[in-house]
């Protein structure tokens, strides 16, 4: 966890690391618990530096959050990503959804 926190700090290039997840509630809980447990609060995200891509998509799509699960995201937002259940691929997939959702035309 210390190595992950350091990687995040370096990747932020002097800025502030922000955890972006879909859904945030799952990833933040897991990362925060492991950060507290294994490296004495070294989380680069603190307790509130996070962004929920699911909520952003829900707002943009004018849908309830309960109607905005991964299986309800339009295929067009996934770009060329393939869902593999492999952590780095999953992260890329969610980043692509986030990057594509502001320009998405629901028509």
- Quickly list DSSP for 88-102: HHHHHHHHHHHHHGG
pTM (2 d.p.) = 0.75
Q: How many domains does the chain have?
A: 1
In this structure, are residues 75 and 3 in contact, taking their beta carbons and an 8 Å threshold?
no
The reported pLDDT for the residue numbered 104 is 67
What confidence score (pLDDT) does residue 106 get? 64
Cα(43)–Cα(101) distance, integer angstroms:
28
User: So what's the pLDDT on residue 57?
Assistant: 84
CB atoms within 10 A of CB 96: 15
Query: Which residues span the domain enclosing 62?
Result: 2-103
pLDDT tens-place string over residues 81-104:
777 877 788 888 888 877 877 676
Locate the DSSP E strands across the chain.
19-21, 50-52
**Residues of the chain where predicted confidence (pLDDT) is lower than 70:** 41, 102, 104-107
């Amino acid at each position: 966890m210390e190595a992950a926190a350091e990687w995040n700090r370096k990747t932020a290039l002097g800025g502030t690391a922000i955890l972006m997840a879909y859904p945030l509630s799952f990833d933040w809980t897991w990362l925060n618990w492991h950060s507290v447990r294994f490296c004495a609060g070294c989380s680069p995200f603190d307790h509130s530096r996070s962004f929920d891509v699911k909520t952003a998509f829900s707002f943009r799509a004018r849908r309830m959050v309960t109607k905005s699960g991964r299986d309800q995201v339009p295929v067009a937002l996934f770009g060329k990503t393939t869902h593999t259940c492999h952590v780095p691929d999953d992260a890329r997939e969610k980043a692509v959804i986030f990057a594509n959702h502001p320009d998405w035309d629901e028509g």
